[in-house]
Structure 1
Amino acid sequence: MNDRTDLLEERLAHALRALDDLSEMVARQDKELARLTARVEMLMQREASRESDGTGGIVLGDERPPHY
Structure 2
Amino acid sequence: MSTLEPLQQRLEALEIKAAYADDLLEELNLTIYKQQQQIDRLMHVVKDLQQRMPEAGSVASGARDELPPHY
TM range (shorter): 0.7 to 0.9
% identity of equivalent residues: 30
Q: How far 1:47 moved relative to its partner?
A: 1.2
2:27 aligned partner: 21
Which protein has the bigger helix share?
A: 2
2:47 aligned partner: 41
For this pair of structures, how many residues does the alignment match? Answer: 57
Whether 1:60 and 2:52 are equivalent positions in the alignment is no
Aligned-pair Cα RMSD in Å: 1.6
Choose between structure 1 and 2 for higher RCO, CA contacts under 8 A separated by at least 6 residues.
1
TM-score normalised according to structure 2 size = 0.70
Q: Which has the larger radius of gyration?
A: 2
Q: How far 1:5 moved relative to its partner?
A: 0.8
1:30 aligned partner: 36
Output one character per residue of 1:26-66: Cα deviation in whole Å (capped at 9) or x when no partner.
Answer: 01101000000000000111111xx2xxxxx44632437xx
